[in-house]
Every structure is written in structure tokens, then in C-alpha cells.
Chains A and B, each alone.
Chain A
Amino acid sequence: MEIEKHIKTITPAPAAVESHLSKRKNIWKKIVQQKTLILMSFPFLIWLFIFKYLPLWGWTIAFQDYRPGLPFSEQEWVGWKHFRFLFQDEAFFRVLRNTLAMSIINLVLGFVTAITLAILLNELRNGKFKRIVQTISYMPHFLSWVVAASIISYALSLENGIVNIVLQKLHVIDEPILWLGVGEYFWGIIGASEVWKNLGWNTIIYLAAIAMIDPEQYEAAEIDGASRLQRIFYITLPSLKPTIVILLIMNLGNILETGFEPQYLLGNPMNLDYSENLDIFVLKYGIAMGNFALATAAGIFKTVVSFIFLFSANYIAKRLGQARLF
């Protein structure tokens, strides 16, 4: 694009053509120059093509009444049938709403809490204590959702649930609340559960980023008489910004990729309208029925949405002059 514009404005000077040619020459020269870099990356590009791009032929399954085992030529083509099934189901929009809502809640809560914890941990002066807190805080990540869900469910139960007991003691509520029985609470419960389970884990990457901050900056700030909060807001947070922006863009691309385990395990007939997400829908009507075509169609839909989010987020970051993904 840029080159073309260039040519247009400066034509008909032969010098421009020459520069164009020399640019091409330059590229070849560069390629020769950068042969080590190319050698270091191209084998993995081949790997990428084989393992990630090659299986994409599987997307054709979405347009077939796929029967495993039959050769490709004998599959029955059905066009957009499976997409129609997906989009025309009356549950679809409810499911999509739930997916997006929980995703956004998780995204916001996840980022805010993880960054806060990383900063607070960084402010701990006692190294040993800091390490212990870190290790403990990432432990829940290693519980499977099955185990975690049973603990959460128990904590929210009517009679023995710690949440009800504490709230009653504090006189916030008079009667115990059936938390999982009220649909409106569900998104919040999932958000809190995700934070509880993954807070420590999500913090690690920010701790690594903080570890790479030049300590001299802090020293200089201290000499200048900056307070704790000032140091946090003028040194730590700005240093974390590139990491935050990059992670945010990547996660925005995953906006429909919420997983299904917590929603599935904590879901029940009473909160169904708020708990069912896209993955559960696909699980029920695709995978559990052995309908690979529907599962693939849903996958394609997700990819399209992901790309839209990814490119928009990247574009916005670029316009704002922030770090960007590509």
C-alpha cells in the first residue's frame, strides 16, 4: 500500500522505480543477512503448518452429516444445516448471553484481582512470607473443578454453608439464602469461584513482569520522597502495562472460550437459565450425541467471533499507542 502511494506521488521520476527495485534487492539482502533468524524459526513454521493448519480440513465436517469411518467422498453434504440448528435454537441466544456475561465478568475480575495481588505481594517486605503466600494462593488451581465445585456448593448450602453462617452472624441477612437456587446470583458465584481458584495462578505472570523491573527506578523514587502508593502508580503499574495489554488482547480473543466445568458442575434445574453456556450446549447436542458436525460448526462460529474480537482489540491498542499483539 505504502509503496504504491509512494510511486503515485513521485511518478514519473525514474528514481522511484529504482528505489523500488533496490527495496526488493534489499529484502533479498536482508533475507541472506537474517538467515540465522530464519533458520531459528522456519522449522517451527513447518511444525505449525502440520500440527495446526493441516487438521483444518476437519472444518468440512461442519457441512456434512458426518459419519466417522466413511471416506471423504462418501460423506453426505448438508450445507449450513448444523449452523442453522445452532443459531435457530431458541436456547441459543440465552446460552450466548450467559457465555458472554460470565466471560466478561471473569475477564474483569480476573485481571483486576491478579494485578492487585501481584502488586500487594510485591509490597511485602518479608521475602519468606511473600513466598509462602504465593505458594498457598496458587494451590486451589490444582484442584479439579469437580473437587472445587463440591467445596463451593457446600459452602453455599442452606444449613451448613459458611457463607450463610457468616452473613447471618454479621446480620447482613436474616434467613439463609439458597445461593445456587437463584439464577441471578449464578454469574457472580462463577466469577467469585474463578477468582478463588485461579487468583494465585494468574498472578504469577505479573510477578515475573515485576521481577524484571529495574530496581534503580524504585531507589530513585525513594530518594525523591515518593510514597508507597505513588511508587505503585508511577512505577509498578506502568511497567506492567505492556504485559496487561497483551494478555488482555489475547483473552479478548478467547471471549467465548469459557470452558464448561464450573458452570456444568454448579448448574442445577433452578439456575439453568443463567448457568448454561455455549460449551454446555455443544456438549449436550454435539458431543454427547456423537454429533461431531455440530461440535465443529460451533467451533467455527467461535473462531469467527474470536478473530473479530482479536483484530478489533489489536487495532484499538494500536490506535491508542499501546503494546499490541501483532
Chain B
Amino acid sequence: MKQIVKRWRMRYTSWGDMVFDVCNYSLMLVLCVVMLYPMLNTLAISLNDANDAIRGGIYLWPREFTLYNYEYVLKENTLLNALLISVLRTVLGTAISVFCTAMVAYVISRPEFVFRKFVTIAFILTMYFNGGLIPTYLLMRDLHLIGTFWVYIIPGIIGVFNLIVIRSFIEGLPNSLIESARIDGAGEFRIFLQIVLPLSLPVLATVSLFVAVYQWNSWFDVFLYNSSNPNLSTLQYELMKILQNTNATMSGKTAADAFANAHADANTVTPSSIRATMTIIASVPIILVYPFLQKYFIKGLTLGGVKGE
């Protein structure tokens, strides 16, 4: 008992502190409810009979439970290869992009670098314009990137937003570390690799998440450049295809088809139930990436040996 009181004391030095915590925790709980609802709702719809779901009114729990929507989506034999390509482009694209971006970020964070301003501005400006769809497409064609895997990676090697984010973090690092390494005779590349990179882990984790999510979710480049090459199709693109296929089928359905479906146990699918299903299939893997990366956020903290826990 005494110990509890003691711990309590240690934890809260003042009443205000405690009130703060109570408010904070309650607020976070409310937040969780609001933020969790859409996913749960989508999950419930994906697990509900499509025809029944049209009537609406499904919240957290399916009304007529079925796994048919998943069966319908997952039966596509193209999905496995597409998943592989998705994982590949996410892993590879993230690794390459984060490494290269961090390298350039390090360079433009060096105050003594002669071309610092030129390089920085050259990159920043590109955030606010683009040549448009057709010139970009023709460029990819002329570079022979169309129909290859590299069209997913190379155009996105440097993310300018990420570049600036990493740069401003590196600028926040103590200069003394870098200077002392330099005095020890370390070259710039080694300083970058052995001192700057490890120290920037929290921001690298953040940027990795940004790039990974971008890579995982993108389907437009597949649509533009690789749509006729099924071997390089990605998960998002294949799911998109299934959804649009359902859309097209729905508007072509006749009353006779409806009859057949109504009288057989055969389930039907609708665009909204397919959309819910593919949302779950596509988002769960990438959502799981974050908890994994979170430990690097914590690591940044524990490196200095924070107390409080």
C-alpha cells in the first residue's frame, strides 16, 4: 500500500498534473473510437452479404455474415504475383529512395558546401510544377522504362518533400559530432554512413513509412506504363481491376440474372462490398508496417536513456 502511494506520489507531483493525465487519456480514448470506427465499419461491410448490404444500416457488425466477398476477390489467380510485385516495389523502392534521399539531404545540410543553395533550390522548385502527363509518358518511353519494373523505382528515387524533412533533421544534429569525426580523418561518405544515418533513425523511419505507403498504394504508374504486362501488375492495380469489373458487370445485369441469383444460393457481389473488401485486403499489410517502425521512434528516445517509465 505504501509503495503504491509512493509510486503515485512519484508520478504526480501536483493535482494539475493528474487532471492533465485524466483529460489526456480520456481524449485519446475518444480519438481511438472515432478513428477506429471507419475501419471496423468497412470490415463489417466486407463480411456482410452484398445484396443485403445495399440496404445500408451496417455499423460495427455484419448483419448477414458471409466470407463470399473475400472468396470472390481472392480467387483471382493473378493476385499472388501482384502481391509479390507490390512487396518488391515497396521494399526496394523504399530502401533505394530513403538511402539516396538521405545522402542528398546530408550534402545540402552541409553549410560549407559550395553548391548548397543551387542544389537545394533546384530540388525544391520541382515540387511545384510538372510537365504534364504526356511529356512524362514520352520520357518514360524514350528511356525504355515502359514495361519494366524500374518504372516504379527510378522516377521516385528522390522525394523532394522527404529530402527537405531529412535535411532539417540533420541540421538539428550537433555539429560537433561531425566535426570530431572529420578531425579523426573520416571522409564525407563515411561520416554520412556511420554517423549521420544512425543518428537520424527516427526521421529515416518516418520517411521510410511515407515512401513505403506511397509505393504500396500507387497504381497509376501501373495503369500508365505496365497495364499490358500482367507479370508486373501490383496488388492495388489488380484490386482496382476487380472493382471496376464488378462495376461494369453490375450495370449489365438483367432481371433474368437477378432472378437466377435470387433463387440460387449463389451470392452476388456489388461494387460497394467489393470496395470494402479490397480496402481491408490492401490496407491491413501496410498498416502493420507502422507498429514495426515505431520502435525506431522509441529508440531515438532511449538512446539518451530517458526516464519516466
A residues within 8 Å of B by Cβ? 27, 30-31, 34, 36-38, 40-41, 44-45, 47-48, 50-59, 61, 68, 117, 120-121, 123-125, 127, 129, 131-144, 146-148, 150-151, 154, 160, 196, 199-200, 204-205, 207-209, 211-212, 214-216, 218-219, 227-229, 242-243, 246-247, 250, 253-254, 292, 295-296, 299-300, 302-303, 306-307, 310, 323, 325-326
Contacts and interface: CB of A to CB of B under 8 A. Distances in A.
B290 A135 contact: yes
B114 A212 contact: no
Nearest to A146: B275
8 closest residue pairs by CB, A with B: A55-B131, A58-B135, A211-B300, A58-B131, A306-B128, A55-B135, A142-B283, A215-B306
29 contacts: A36-B189, A38-B115, A40-B189, A44-B158, A50-B139, A51-B155, A54-B131, A54-B139, A55-B136, A59-B132, A124-B28, A135-B291, A139-B38, A142-B283, A142-B287, A143-B38, A151-B41, A160-B56, A205-B206, A208-B169, A211-B202, A211-B300, A215-B305, A227-B14, A228-B16, A243-B168, A292-B133, A295-B133, A310-B124
Contacts of A205: 165, 206
Contact of A47 (B41, B56, B158, B290): B158
B205 interface: yes
A147 B31 contact: no
Interface in B100-153: 100, 103-104, 106-108, 110, 112-115, 117, 119-136, 139, 143
The A interface, classified by DSSP as helix, strand, loop or mixed, is helix
Given A48-B122, A151-B41, A299 B129 contact: yes
A92 B187 CA distance: 55
A253 B189 contact: no
A147 B35 contact: no
Nearest to A323: B168
B39 A246 contact: no
Interface stretch (B19-27, B63-71, B80-88): B19-27
Contacts, number: 250
Contact of B304 (A41, A141, A150, A214): A214
B114 A30 contact: yes
B271 to A, nearest CB: 10
B283 A123 contact: no
A212 B203 contact: yes
A325 to B, nearest CB: 6
A147 B42 contact: yes
Contacts of B32: 132-133, 136-137
A139 B205 contact: no
B57 interface: yes
B114 A31 contact: yes
A135 B104 CA distance: 30
Contacts of B168: 242-243, 246, 323
Nearest to B57: A160
Contact of B38 (A31, A148, A228): A148
Nearest to B236: A144
Contacts of B73: none
B20 A228 contact: yes
B232 to A, nearest CB: 20
Contacts of A38: 115
A214 B124 CA distance: 29
Contacts of B291: 131, 135
B31 A133 contact: yes
B279 interface: yes
B134 A58 contact: yes
Contacts of B187: 36
Which of B35, B110, B143, B158 is the most central at the interface, judged by chain A CB atoms within 10 Å of its CB?
Answer: B35
B162 to A, nearest CB: 10
Contacts of A30: 112, 114
Nearest to A31: B114
B209 interface: yes
A41 B31 contact: no
B132 A139 contact: no
A139 B203 CA distance: 20
A222 to B, nearest CB: 9
A141 B157 CA distance: 23
A250 B164 contact: yes
Given A120-B27, A136-B36, A296 B139 contact: no
Contact of A134 (B20, B100, B115, B290): B290
A296 B192 CA distance: 40
B297 interface: yes
B104 A40 contact: yes
A216 B301 CA distance: 11
Interface string B1-31: 0000000000100101100110011011001
A200 B35 contact: yes
Contact of B100 (A44, A196, A219): A44
A246 B279 CA distance: 33
Contacts of A300: 129
A325 B164 contact: yes
B36 A123 contact: no
Nearest to B299: A211
A143 B279 contact: yes
Contacts of A137: 31-32, 35
A59 B136 CA distance: 12
A232 to B, nearest CB: 10
B272 interface: yes
Given A57-B135, A147-B276, A303 B128 contact: yes
A207 to B, nearest CB: 6
